[in-house]
Amino acid sequence: MAVTNRDMANAVRALSMDAVEAAKSGHVGLPLGMADAATVLFRKFLKFDPTQPDWPDRDRFILSAGHGSMLIYSLLHLTGYKSVSRDDIRNFRQLGANTPGHPENFVTKGVETTTGPLGQGIATAVGMAMAERHLNARFGDDLVDHKTYVIVGDGCLMEGVSQEAITLAGHMKLDRLIVLWDDNSVT
């Protein structure tokens, strides 16, 4: 029986709830609320290869709302990244684990950038989209043809750095930057 998007999204939710509960710490709201959208993104749209996490032309996925880190850890585990094992998920937020409380790119393969401070991830995503445009103009679609996806939360969008980054992205018409908003009805 084939795994459906609903099955995978529910697995993301279950892994996230179990990990946060076991750690007695963490945020489960974003993984619960964004599991469906993120699952479809990873299964249908995102261009990546879990056996080559540093492949230069992979699409970039940034979780700007880094407090919801179990979303990305669950997705990396379920899509075959070796950097996040079942034991890593069991050890969420524990010293030395590949699954710290906020995503860290030098700790976990598949995490594109360290996030945590609100607004930092969207600003970094804009920079990545600018880099993609520059490299694409220089080397062409055959070598550089990827997109940058970012999930932001209300808290991210309340920060000045995110507003400046979004304004820059619009001004530069960065059409390969895709922003998904986790609306908590806070702003």
- Give the SS3 label for residue 186: coil
Binning the chain into helix, strand and coil, the percentages to the nearest 5 are: 50, 10, 45
**Domain 5-182: assigned CATH number:** 3.40.50.970
Count of Cβ atoms closer than 10 Å to residue 42 Cβ: 21
- The mean pLDDT of the chain is 96
Kindly list the domain boundaries of the chain, sorted by start residue: 5-182
Task: Read off the pLDDT of residues 139-177 as tens digits, 9 standing for 90 and up.
Answer: 999 999 999 999 999 999 999 999 999 999 999 999 999
Q: How far apart are CA 164 and CA 92, in angstroms?
A: 33
Is 90 exceeded by the pLDDT of residue 187? no
pLDDT at 185: 78
Q: Of 71, 51, 52, which is closest to residue 61 (Cα–Cα)?
A: 71
**Neighbouring-strand partners of residue 149:** 61, 178
Q: What band does 116 get if pLDDT is binned at 50, 70 and 90? A: confident
Q: Answer yes or no: are the C-beta atoms of 8 and 41 closer than 8 Å.
A: no
Dmax (CA) of the chain:
49
